[in-house]
Amino acid sequence: MVSTGSFESFMTKVRAGDENAARDLVRHYEGVIRREVRLRLEDRRLLRLFDSMDISQSVLTSFFARASSGQFALETPEQLVGLLIGMTRNKLAFQVRRQRARRRDNRLVAKTPVEDLSVESTSPGPSQLASDHDLIDAVRHRLKDEELLIVDLRAEGLEWSEIAQRLGGSAQARRMQLARAVLRVTKALNLDDDRRA
């Protein structure tokens, strides 16, 4: 895990879209997400339809998109773990509800021989990284100029009070402005199934 002392600079790099920081985050915290899925998934038959890797990729994609827009104010590694666990629970619950809503009989899903399964890497591949960058670009493209400026200032590591000093208004008003913008963009991009995380 990342130490508390270097956590602030680590999160600044993550918000700025630094690929090395993103890889470190995935390497250190993906296991937490996957373990939470395995512990929480009560109906093991659903593993034929999705697994911990699917949920993990969904959580991390949402996290990076929302972190790059400055939505999260995390101060410690423990807060990051708590956030990722919350997002994981919401994503898992969403998938379970989705499968049940479709009334799928997962007993009818065809079994695949082990030798026909592709082995997934624990780190994101080039296509996943490209997809993440495309998502970040899509988020940034949908933000208004002032909202984008707030995102960039947060990515530089500025506190809300410092942003309010530069742009005017109160720290709480600027935080709410960005929160509303992120909510608007996540709805526009259909990323809102884990809004409560």
Note the pLDDT of residue 196. Answer: 45
Which band of pLDDT confidence, cut at 50, 70 and 90, is reported for residue 197? Answer: very low
Burial class (CB in 10 A: 0-12, 13-18, 19+), 113: exposed
Question: How many of the other CB atoms lie within 10 Å of CB of 25?
Answer: 22
Burial 117-134 (b: 16+ CB within 10 A, else e): eeeeeeebeeeeeeebee
How far is C-alpha 45 from the geometric centre of its chain's CA atoms? Answer: 26
Return all residues near 158 (Cβ < 8 A) that are at least 6 apart. 166
- Tally the domains of the chain: 1
Identify the residue with better confidence: 132 or 186: 186
- Convert the pLDDT of each residue in 93-106 to its tens digit: 887 777 777 665 55
Note the pLDDT of residue 110. Answer: 55
Q: Which of 31-35, 74-78, 136-140, 190-194 has the lowest mean pLDDT?
A: 190-194
Note the pLDDT of residue 51. Answer: 72
Q: Is the pLDDT of residue 193 over 60?
A: no
Identify the residue with better confidence: 111 or 62: 62
Return all residues near 63 (Cβ < 8 A) that are at least 6 apart. 72, 83, 84, 87
Burial class (CB in 10 A: 0-12, 13-18, 19+), 51: middle
| Domain of residue 167, residue span | 4-194
Q: Is the pLDDT of residue 131 over 80?
A: no
Q: Is the pLDDT of residue 181 over 60?
A: yes
**Predicted TM-score of the model (pTM):** 0.52
Which band of pLDDT confidence, cut at 50, 70 and 90, is reported for residue 195? Answer: very low
Note the pLDDT of residue 78. Answer: 92
- Convert the pLDDT of each residue in 152-174 to its tens digit: 888 888 888 888 998 899 989 98
